[in-house]
Chains A and B, each alone.
Chain A
């Protein structure tokens, strides 16, 4: 039965010679051991649906894990169904002694047949077999499986390739991922373990890889880099500093015009200014809304929402793009404030109606001409509306608010220069 099914499997999938050898070897191992893990059968079939590796055992564990988790029925029919058809004992062996097999094989071959291990680990560990697993796993490959299990759980399809380089020297748990800003719990007790290079490379991929929380040990292993202090305090300090710098980089992407600023202090200044300007905008817009609202028909908000959403979809197709618009508006705002306030007023005076800027805004998001008008129209508001229906008091109100905004913005500019 072995021979009958094995060639079938080998021929059906696109496996390399090495993989076939490995599979054959594993086969033989499994046939020897008769541990029954019936309960995991159903889980494993689900797991195998999760872990659809089209080429079977890839050379790169990372790529294996980062394959799409969508089930591939064709593959199921070809390759894996044969594996399933091997019988429950096959799976049982995968489960129990498969770990030994994996370890044994991993010690011989660099490419982990522990490719299967993630599949098994994913569900197996979920069932609480971690103690057993941790005992049996004695290679870095297996530790990687721990991590990959979590990746699987999180359904993360991003590349964990950086970690593949250091398969053999993997740190237990996920220190780099623990350091990522996504992690919420970091019980740091730094102790020296592993590669500094891997730490670096993993940190670069930190933004891509999601959190894989450490299940068994809740602390992070950190290694001192070459030529640096090995004190535990300084290690913890360094980890913290790196976290902060990573978050500053993320903020640099959010806040517009921060690409040239390199220092933490300058960045913080920019962030503070940006947050202040956003809050001021909110205040101003709320005042505008308070003044404008009652004029319009607000009967059907659902209808309005439905009508507005498509418009939004066209106008703000991507948050990145819209934030870009806001960013440009923010920069334009600053530039505009450089001019005399009278010039502003005259510019507004030229914009007779608010409609043309609005239409321009709706048509093309990326037209810089309309963006300053977006800000200017709020000042236009003060000059146009009173001519139609507004009170002089309201006009004064708007003027005061707007002037305050301009004064603060000019201060802001002075700070920048």
Chain B
């Protein structure tokens, strides 16, 4: 237990600590920027902001070596871009196109192999895991494993924060 304790005190060491730091900072920022919402619409907005902050800090904590973290960051950036400048939707398309064409040929090649596993399931998994659209099954499973691990961490941390705040 002690080594874990020490490692968690070092902020840059583990995924959990990195995520927590970033997430807490963004939560503080959200709290400072907006007053406490009293109507459902504001609550929705705030919830969306919190969720975005959580995803963003998770992707940052996971590092840019993973396809899913990069894809998630791109998606968030595109969304903010789109919201920021509504008159330029082409930005998003260009960025997404770049992402998919990089490994698009891979997908073409492996399309036939998916049938042995079940194409609909694989496609479902692709939709769930960010950035999974343009990956072969092998790396998709790899990314899914890492994504599940990070999601677990995220849920733990958020639950803990919520428990602390609610008590």
Contact = CB atoms under 8 A, between A and B. Distances in A.
Interface of A: 181, 240, 243-244, 247-248, 250-251, 254-255, 264-265, 268-269, 271-272, 274-276, 278-279, 281-283, 285-296, 298, 301, 304-306, 308-319, 322-323, 326, 354-355, 358, 361, 374, 381, 391, 393-394, 396-397
Interface string B12-47: 000011001100110110110001111110011011
Contact of A397 (B36, B43, B113): B43
B122 interface: yes
B154 A282 contact: yes
B31 A298 contact: yes
B4 A275 contact: no
Contacts of B117: 244, 264-265, 268
Contacts of A269: 121
A251 B165 CA distance: 33
B29 to A, nearest CB: 10
5 contacts: A240-B113, A312-B8, A323-B152, A358-B163, A394-B43
Contacts of A181: 142
Nearest to A241: B116
A289 B50 CA distance: 8
Leading 7 A-B pairs by shortest Cβ distance: A286-B51, A247-B141, A290-B47, A313-B5, A285-B158, A294-B36, A268-B121
Contact of B16 (A272, A286, A298, A312): A312
Given A289-B158, A298-B27, A322-B152, A251 B141 contact: yes
A286 B158 contact: yes
B18 to A, nearest CB: 11
Interface of B: 1, 4-5, 8-9, 11, 16-17, 20-21, 24-25, 27-28, 30-31, 35-40, 43-44, 46-47, 49-51, 54-55, 113, 117-118, 121-122, 124-125, 128-129, 137-138, 141-142, 144-145, 147-149, 151-156, 158-167
A244 B138 contact: yes
A265 B114 CA distance: 12
B149 A397 contact: no
B148 A289 contact: no
Contacts of B39: 393
A276 B51 CA distance: 15
Contacts of B51: 282-283, 286-287
Contact of B54 (A282, A293, A301, A355): A282
B113 A290 contact: no
A379 to B, nearest CB: 13
Given A264-B117, A292-B166, A275 B9 contact: no
Contacts of B155: 278, 281-282, 285, 326
B145 A250 contact: yes
Contacts of A361: 163
Nearest to B55: A282
B167 A358 contact: yes
Nearest to B137: A244
Nearest to B17: A309
Contacts of B40: 393-394, 396-397
Contacts of B121: 265, 268-269, 272
Contacts of A310: 5
A317 B166 contact: no
A269 B5 CA distance: 36
B131 to A, nearest CB: 14
Contacts of A283: 51
A391 B138 contact: no
A399 to B, nearest CB: 12
A131 to B, nearest CB: 32
A286 to B, nearest CB: 4
A289 B162 contact: yes
Contact of B165 (A254, A274, A296, A305): A296
A283 B162 CA distance: 13
A312 B160 contact: yes
A308 B23 CA distance: 14
Contacts of B166: 288, 292, 354, 358, 381
